[in-house]
């Protein structure tokens, strides 16, 4: 009986640790995604405000279309 109880507690401890790790990974991934998204939006805003379409990195065939936005 005592061995079964010890095994059960060990299982519960391991399971809890794994859930905490999964939650941390999810939170960390969301945090990194949001930081990269904010950085991308800042860079896009900076490029748009500079009004220099050549720095946008557009393919040559899309450059005329990009100039229409300016």
pTM: 0.63
**CA distances for 66 relative to 6, 16, 54, 59, 62, angstroms:** 67, 52, 9, 10, 6
User: What per-residue confidence (pLDDT) applies to 70?
Assistant: 62
Query: What pLDDT shows up at residue 55?
Result: 75
* Confidence at residue 69, expressed as pLDDT on a 0 to 100 scale: 65
Each residue's pLDDT tens digit in the chain (70 positions)?
A: 788 888 888 989 999 999 999 999 999 999 999 999 999 999 989 988 887 777 777 777 777 777 776 6
């Amino acid at each position: 009986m005592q061995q079964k109880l010890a095994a059960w507690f060990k299982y519960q401890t391991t399971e809890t640790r794994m859930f905490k790790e999964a939650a941390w990974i999810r939170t960390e991934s969301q945090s990194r995604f949001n930081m990269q998204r904010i950085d991308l939006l800042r860079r896009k805003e900076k490029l748009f405000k500079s009004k220099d379409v050549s720095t946008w990195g557009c393919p040559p065939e899309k450059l005329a279309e990009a100039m229409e936005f300016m």
